[in-house]
Structure 1
């Protein structure tokens, strides 16, 4: 798969959030439980326990019918567009605003690809004149049940990934920003190429390409290539493993040297982060994190710089060396 990138596309391409897409990836995992990066069964996760409350409802079954293997309707998980921050409410509004003929076409395609009998009550719901509002309401309720309780933590992981890649983009260009995004993705002269995909040629024509991090995408990549949606590539965010092992083990020697909290912050800064993100990840107050970062900065272990509206902290070479020694 090759996304042809022109000069205007480079300026229009960016990393952005896709809240509804995150919900869709979570629902796919909940309906096909797998193992987490730490090896634990996803079926025993807190999201699976929440989903058990609604797994057999008409809403869950109707959405499941729209989820054939290897494909899914774009309109129930719209990709981000432009440079504006995307909220869950934005996505649900976009779902409701989908032209009905477009939604009906994608619903029909999903049911055909599913290749099995769909219950009559599900068919009746999907044939309703107000199917877009019905599905948006169902997704909004599932969002509140499944994701909303953890959204601050999830958002911190996603924001941190985008901050990391934006930093690499500014410093070294698109090739560096995409270098470790996924082994199948590479930047070539004038194109973003995804290997092991169909030989599809997508001409961006000034629309740009959105790169959307996800914490629940199980493996591989997801792509948006069909009009009228914004072309996009969804990938697994750096730091997603923190969901399964949120408290990294701080080496005792490093904790004795720096103090437990400062040692923990130093280890977490293997990827640049803002004070707010570190507060969300650690549970410490803004004032406490700020005080500890000041000590680390005055000690030459971290440095800070401005990235947009945020002040971002990153380890210095000395900080990297100390963290590496402490982890041995």
Structure 2
């Protein structure tokens, strides 16, 4: 049993990556309900648990049970590569009440009040999500975002270099690409194809280690476990070997090590705990010394190590 998606040429041409703060927020509700499933997130759970006393999450927990189906209207596929939380929250507020009622009806939790008046339920749920975000998630989102960004850069490079086979084979053992079909090992069966509007690929830290899918009436989306999630709650920048630090300075050594995967200035700043301006100055020195190089990717500049930089960092 599983999912079998036929990808037409127009679907292949419209494969895109996106990040979703709302998806991570909603998935984290499962982490709170079943911490043993994701012990790696215990540092976050311990930090936010005292803050839960002031929140009413009962309706959200009913819509997002610890396992099985969760209400899709809470996590519409992102319509831009990097939506902000406010924009995603507005989409939840504007969800179709009858669609929300139908999806709530697929769940067995205490949702009679929601189903009786889904329009009011959507307002309550959106308010609860906003309060939960502010209390427990907003301050951690830059850290999660940095991990997701590194993953997307890695997968985008795989797609450019090795095509669909290289990309899909890297996502998860539950995902298999046959050449024109995507097979996904999930506990239900559908052979429905995509709809010519492409496929959204969404890395997730809080849904790890599972995969998830969405399809009609939403745009088709595949959620896959982000790589490197074990480093998410590590404190501080990567340690720099004394010899490398003595040669180029400890901060520049940390930046060089952090560029094992290409990254933007802002992503490096979050990881190294410096201002973007300070990171930019250090990158200027590293680039001028032939250790890093900046490559424009649309509106962003991605920095990576040169072969000389690799030799130093891996020595």
Matches within 5 A, 1:103-118: 103-111=100-108, 118=110
**Is the 8 Å Cα contact of residues 18 and 78 (structure 1) preserved in structure 2?**
no
> How many residues are matched?
310
Alignment-derived partner of residue 69 in structure 2: 71
**What is the rounded CA distance, in whole Å, between the counterparts of 2:101 and 2:35 in structure 1?**
29
Give the 3 Å change call, closer, same or farther, for CA 288–92 of structure 1 in structure 2: closer
Task: Give the deviation of 1:85 after TM superposition.
Answer: 3.4
Task: Give the deviation of 1:234 after TM superposition.
Answer: 1.1
- 1:291 matches 2:291: no
Alignment RMSD (CA, Å) = 2.4
**What is the rounded CA distance, in whole Å, between the counterparts of 1:5 and 1:125 in structure 2?**
36
**Is the 8 Å Cα contact of residues 20 and 91 (structure 1) preserved in structure 2?**
yes
Task: Give the deviation of 1:212 after TM superposition.
Answer: 0.8
Contiguous gaps of at least 5 residues in structure 2: none
**What is the rounded CA distance, in whole Å, between the counterparts of 2:147 and 2:177 in structure 1?**
24
- 1:232 matches 2:232: no
Alignment-derived partner of residue 53 in structure 1: 51
Secondary structure of the 1:110 match is coil
Task: Give the deviation of 1:181 after TM superposition.
Answer: 2.1
- 1:127 matches 2:116: yes
**Is the 8 Å Cα contact of residues 21 and 141 (structure 2) preserved in structure 1?**
no
Alignment-derived partner of residue 243 in structure 1: 232
Contiguous gaps of at least 5 residues in structure 1: none
**What is the rounded CA distance, in whole Å, between the counterparts of 2:169 and 2:262 in structure 1?**
17
Alignment-derived partner of residue 14 in structure 2: 12
**What is the rounded CA distance, in whole Å, between the counterparts of 1:275 and 1:46 in structure 2?**
25
Scaled by the length of structure 2, what TM-score is found? 0.88
**What is the rounded CA distance, in whole Å, between the counterparts of 1:299 and 1:175 in structure 2?**
37
Task: Give the deviation of 1:291 after TM superposition.
Answer: 2.5
Secondary structure of the 1:305 match is strand
**Is the 8 Å Cα contact of residues 147 and 232 (structure 2) preserved in structure 1?**
no
The one of 210, 226, 230 equivalent to 2:200 is 210
**Is the 8 Å Cα contact of residues 22 and 214 (structure 1) preserved in structure 2?**
yes
The one of 19, 30, 33 equivalent to 1:31 is 33
